[in-house]
Structure 1
Amino acid sequence: MINSSLQYPIFGPEIQCPHCRQTVPALTLTDTYLCTRHGAFEADPKTGELVHLQSGRHWKQWGDEWYRQHTHADGIRFEIHEALDRLYTQGFRATRVIIAERYQELISGYLERSTPWRGQSESPKLYGLPVDFSPNSQEDSRWEVINFDLEKEPGVPVRYPYFRLFE
């Protein structure tokens, strides 16, 4: 008798599509998952990655979430920008961006730097926010998978100045 777990890819009989989060079934006796909207994803048992066959994008899982593994600075910058937008619509504002150390070389050319004066050293910025890089992944293994984290504080709802005319 064949062990049923050997019939499925490494992530089991189904996963959540990294793009649309709908449940995606595995194709038995293959390393492939098939999303009706986004096509085939192949599970690589050696790297633990999920590869979207059409685009070549790589994903890793941490907890129940899929994290795209970026190869170009524009991808990580766009992802951070989207997260900032979501945070803002939830009534928060970010105070700092912490980016996985593995992206430091990739993104460093895109960081805003100002010339410090009076001996003050200022951290580089992205979208006006201070940027720090994560501790290395040996200290905290989640940084092998996740791309960035945002520090946040409760925001004040935006009120445009012309509203005051009518109060």
Structure 2
Amino acid sequence: MNSLGSQYPIFGPEIQCPHCRQTIPALTLTDTYLCPRHGAFEADPKTGELVHLQSGRHWRLWNGDWYRQHTHPDGIRFEIHEALDRLYTQGYRATRVIIAKRYQELISTYLERSTPWRGQTDSQKPRLYGLPVEFSPDPDDEPCWNVINFDLEKEPGAPVRYPYFRLLE
């Protein structure tokens, strides 16, 4: 006799929709979750990803939050820009952005580079939206970087991690 757990996709009988955070049910005996607003999401047990069937967007789960996995530089740049806007409206200023190493090749041509000017010491660092950019540690050392896309360091304080759907609040 099969256990109840084997009747559901890998994330269990229900999840939060990565777009609207509404609790959505799994369809039994499939790898699919169905959101009434956003349609079907298929769980891939091999990769641990959730795929939105209509758009083909991929999501990964880390600490209860869904993070969109980008395949085009505009997607990650847009997500960072939205997070910066959100941080600013909360009264904070970002001082640095740390981008997941897996995006380094994808986004490197879009980073601003300049030559030293009037005694600037950090101007050799690549920048995005005027902020110094660093790339994450190796995901083998910090597994969260297999999933999360970036951290914003704000003034003062610790980094602020942004799952994509939280930007839509």
How does the TM-score come out when normalised to structure 1? Answer: 0.89
- Paired residues for 1:71-150 under 5 Å: 71-117=71-117, 120=121, 122-150=124-152
Deviations 1:33-76 (A, max 9, x none): 00001000000000000000001000000011000000000000
Q: In the TM superposition, what is the alpha-carbon distance from 1:116 to its structure 2 partner?
A: 2.3
Does the residue aligned with 1:15 lie in a helix, a strand or coil? strand
Distance 2:47 2:116 in 1: 42
Does the residue aligned with 1:60 lie in a helix, a strand or coil? strand
Deviations 1:84-105 (A, max 9, x none): 1111111111000000000000
The amino acid across from 2:150 in the alignment is: F
Distance 1:130 1:99 in 2: 11
Distance 2:19 2:121 in 1: 43
The total of aligned residue pairs comes to 154
Matched, 1:20 2:24: no
- Paired residues for 1:10-89 under 5 Å: 10-89=10-89
The amino acid across from 1:36 in the alignment is: P
Percent of matched pairs sharing the same residue? 79
Distance 1:119 1:42 in 2: 49
The amino acid across from 1:138 in the alignment is: D
Q: What RMSD, in angstroms, separates the aligned Cα atoms of the two structures?
A: 1.3
Does the residue aligned with 1:113 lie in a helix, a strand or coil? coil
How does the TM-score come out when normalised to structure 2? Answer: 0.88
Deviations 1:136-157 (A, max 9, x none): 1011000000000000015xxx
Runs of at least 5 residues in structure 2 that lack an aligned partner in the other structure: 157-169
